[in-house]
């Protein structure tokens, strides 16, 4: 992926996969799926919220309401809230996380 992909350009599947590295599941994030309709991903360090939103749209065809990003020892994480009431649970099931 190029260093900075403009947010207004539609991401390719390869670029979207480089933005969303992998889902992050712990007991706490599992509770977020059930109670808050949020799914947590480890994302590339230079990812912006707009890039994460577009990557979710390209890879999973998901409509995202809100994204919270934070940096940890494991890297940058993004908590993604879905507009569909069962969006996080459905995507987690599709990805084989639950």
Q: Write down the mean pLDDT value for the chain.
A: 91
Does residue 4 surpass a pLDDT of 60?
A: no
Instruction: Give the global pTM.
Output: 0.86
What pLDDT is recorded for position 58? 95
- Per-residue H/E/C for 29-95: HHHHHHHHCEEEEEECCCCCHHHHHHHHHHHHCCCEEEEEEEEECCEEEEEEEECCCCHHHHHHHHC
CB neighbours of 4 closer than 8 A, spacing ≥ 6? Answer: 46
Q: Which domains does the chain have, with CATH numbers?
A: 13-94 (3.30.70.330)
* Average pLDDT estimate for 64-93: 96
* Average pLDDT estimate for 28-44: 96
- Give the pLDDT band of residue 9 (cuts 50, 70, 90): low
């Amino acid at each position: 992926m190029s260093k900075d992909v403009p947010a207004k350009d539609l991401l390719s599947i390869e670029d979207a996969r480089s933005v969303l590295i992998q889902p992050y599941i712990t007991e706490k994030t599992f509770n977020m799926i059930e109670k808050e309709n949020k799914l947590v991903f480890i994302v590339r360090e230079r990812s912006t919220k707009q890039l994460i939103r577009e990557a979710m749209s390209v890879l999973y065809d998901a409509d995202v309401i809100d994204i919270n990003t934070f940096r940890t020892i494991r890297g940058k994480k993004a908590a993604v809230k879905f507009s569909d009431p069962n969006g996080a649970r459905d995507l987690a099931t599709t990805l084989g996380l639950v």
